[in-house]
Each structure stands twice: as structure tokens, then as C-alpha cells.
Structure 1
């Protein structure tokens, strides 16, 4: 049994709990109903609806188990309750400036399940987050990327 703690923000925990609720109360009953209807169509060996529904059931049950395991080992971190030290920590939002190009970018450091590059939310385990953690406003963080090293100056650190 793994004792891995999954760091997540309050919003990340809420999103997982909402997904779990939907899987158990909406998706699971719908899939059970689809399996029952497919069984009524006769021969299960050649019944595509039955096999598709059973496959969906497997995915649904697997995701339920995965979410339950993560929630049971969740380390929910509410960044708003942590005294603002100006340091980059889990849950903070960081404004960065690429030293070479002067491009500005903002990232929020979140748990793995919450990461979304479209929303500028990066996983705490990502190379950028690892380079930023512990640094302060004005520091330069060196990120080792596949295309070489990128230097970012930390413009501001916010506890949102």
C-alpha cells in the first residue's frame, strides 16, 4: 500500500469530489442501464452495445477507484491560510519574465490532477515549478527544458 500524499489545492479537491459524485450518481447508473438494455437484445457475444457498455463500466469504475485513492491520500493545501512570505510555494501564482525575450507569463502551481496548460496551471512536479519553488520576487530561476535552459525572473508571487 502506497502512502504517497497527493498535494492539491482546495479547488482541486472540490473538482475531484464533484467528478466522483457525477461518476457515482450519474455515469454509473446510466452505464448499468445501458448494460441491462443491451442484454435484452440477446446474444452477448456479438452484441456491440453490450461490449461498449461493459468497457465504459470498466473505465468508470477504474476512475472512481483512482479518485477515491487520491482523495484518501490528499494533502489539501489552502494557500490563503499560509502567511505570505514572498516565496514561491505550492498554490501560489507567479508572474515571470523570460530574461532573454522579455515575454511575461503567469503560472499557478497546483497538484498533478489540476494541471492545465490552457489555464496556466502547472503541476508541482513539472520542471518549471521545481525550478521556481523556494525562490522569491526578483530571483532568477533556471528551467532546464528540452530545448536548453530558460531563465525566468520572478516578477511577483501571489497567494490567490
Structure 2
């Protein structure tokens, strides 16, 4: 994967070939059109969950409709984790129910990490993906050109050598 700063093809400071520019533009459009629109909850959320959901959407403008499921599940998990954490805080340290709640909180913690990881395709990551897609497209074009040029031309020296063999 590409390293360093990634920017859109229109904001590139280095020079690139016309083929590479065209491939990058196509790849960026493909990545942009994946899940056009803003995320919407995919299940019913209560008022508090909806507030958290809207806050996440407003904080990251690279979220799109394709992120709706992961974002909704993240918000649900965060909300339930907070409820369980508050319940743990209200219980006595020696209460038998506390261990079960801690296990549930740990489960939600793992779910939060998974949903956060699935949302980690930030704008930079999406541009990297477009850049990698463009590189693949360029390599495919190069391979196609190489296959097209396989028609071997007759080497004039070999023709003379062959002609001399037949003369003897």
C-alpha cells in the first residue's frame, strides 16, 4: 500500500502521465460512488443513541451511506457499554452480579473495537485505495500492450543467415 501523504489526483504536486492521471480519476470516482449519501441508522435508535449517531456523522465528513451499518452498530454497542458501566459503578464491589456485568462490558468493548475498525476507512484510506486501484489499472494496460506487441518482426540478420544456410 502507498505510504506518505495521499491527495486527490487534482491536488497532486508531482507530474504524472496522462494514462496514470486518467486511471487515478476513474479509480477515485469509483471509490467516491461507493455508498453515496450520508449515513442513516439501519435500526431503530432511541434519542440518546440518535444523538451519538448524529455526532459521529458530523465529526467525520468521509462517512457515507456504506458506513451506516457499522456506525449504527458502533453507536448501539457504545450505548450499551455505557449502561453496563454505569450499572457496574452502582453495584457494591463484592456483589456477585458485578463479574457478569464486567464480562458483558468486555464483550461490548470488543464489539466497539470491531465496529470502529470497520469505520477506519477515512478519506486518506479511501484515496490510498483509489491510488492502488489506479496502479492496478495501469499495470493491466501495460500488460495488454505487451501482449499486443508480441508479433515478432523478422530480424533482417536472421533472414540473411537462413538464406545462407539454404544456399550452401
Q: TM-score range by the shorter chain?
A: 0.3 to 0.5
* TM-score, scaled relative to structure 1: 0.38
More helix by share: 2
TM-score computed with the length of structure 2 as normaliser: 0.37
